[in-house]
Amino acid sequence: MEFSRELLFFFSALGAFNGLVIGLYFIFFAKPRHASNYFLGVLLLALSIRIGKSVFLYFNNYLAGVFLQFGMSACLFIGPSLYFYLRSAVHPDKSQASWRFHYFPLLAIIVTIDVLYPWYSFREEWRFFFRAIYFIWLIYIVLSGWLIRSSLAKFFLRNVKLSAMEIWINSVFIGNTIVWIAYNTVNYTSYIVGALSFSFVFYLLVLLLIFTRKRDPGFLSRQVKYGNKKIEEDEVRELSDKLDELMADKKLFKDPNLKLPDVASQLNLLPHRLSQLLNDNLKKNFTFFINEYRIEEAKELIVKSPHLKLESIGYECGFNSKSTFYSTFKKITGITPLTFKEQLTQLAGS
């Protein structure tokens, strides 16, 4: 039983500790130095302090009132930090100066409460403050949901492709909402569920971040980097035509180690400009764009050379493994290459 409590403490505290570290990283070290990084850092710090308070209170009932106050005071800033992080991520080129009108009044209110109504003397009053703090958090969750409503709607629709940034901001929003629900249902579960839910959500987001950055490096900073330097429609058409012509003539996609800078150099473009064209204008990341050409080439080879093994065709088109070829073929066409080949055989025999 003691061993179970130690494990429970470890897993519930782990998320809070790492959240503090990563929050400080985004505030002081993350680049580019943009408002979105600061708000994300404050969001992680506020959540981690709130979670840390829950963990230590659960395992130490004699926790001093000042720590309880500090933990709940930090909770007051979770909602606005979520809202302004999503807002700065969705609209990176717009000023976020209005944050002062949200943070400073809340700071003045909570400092006044902390000074005039200390926990150890006004416990009944703090029960009301708890409810008010959670209600304010909920208001900002609703505002955040409305802010990202279009991408949030796509998140729950099938056969709708989301950009890496849309997946990320939706996940941050949903994760925050899960933590809020966990804390507001403790009467039916356990007080420690809030901390455990944060650790669970936190590490899911970390895994999502690692996986997404592996497939689409720099997706978090892309909107910040581009800012309001949009590519004009005429230039988009011109660059798109050149890109299609390059792929058709030189078949660069057949190189399994092809990188975005390689293609950019062929077009005499800076890599970030090509990345902007693909992601902002064509709504595709580099990997998906290249794989579309590989699959079209594979389909042609299956039609023209039915005697070739599918695995060989995959390698010929630029895939570095059979499994990647099969999964990508199905993702783009809806069927496996084997099914595609069988359908061709049936059509030929009919």
Range of the domain at 253: 234-349
Q: Which residues of 120-130 are buried (b: 16+ CB within 10 A; e: fewer)?
A: eeeeeebeebe
**DSSP type of residue 196:** H
How much is the pLDDT for 160? 66
How much is the pLDDT for 4? 66
Whether residue 76 is found in the same domain as residue 33: yes
* Structure tokens belonging to residue 22: 């990563």
pLDDT band at 214 (very low <50, low <70, confident <90, very high): low
Q: Residues of the chain with pLDDT > 70: what percent?
A: 83
Which of 178, 208, 225 is at the close of a domain?
225
How much is the pLDDT for 30? 78
Nearest to 164 by CA among 286, 327, 272: 286
- For residue 22, which phi and psi values (nearest 5 degrees)? -70, -35
How much is the pLDDT for 227? 45
Whether residue 185 is found in the same domain as residue 298: no
pLDDT band at 186 (very low <50, low <70, confident <90, very high): confident
pLDDT band at 224 (very low <50, low <70, confident <90, very high): very low
Whether residue 66 is found in the same domain as residue 189: yes
Q: Please determine, for residue 222, whether its predicted confidence score (pLDDT) is greater than 60.
A: no
Whether residue 326 is found in the same domain as residue 263: yes
How many distinct structural domains can be found in the chain?
Answer: 2
pLDDT band at 326 (very low <50, low <70, confident <90, very high): very high
d(CA 187, CA 196): 15
Q: Please determine, for residue 101, whether its predicted confidence score (pLDDT) is greater than 90.
A: yes
Mean pLDDT (the chain, rounded): 82
Q: Please determine, for residue 152, whether its predicted confidence score (pLDDT) is greater than 50.
A: yes
Whether residue 289 is found in the same domain as residue 170: no
Q: What is the pTM of this model?
A: 0.63
CA distances (Å), 335 to each of 115, 198, 292, 295, 338, in order?
A: 65, 38, 14, 12, 8
Mean pLDDT computed over 222-229: 48
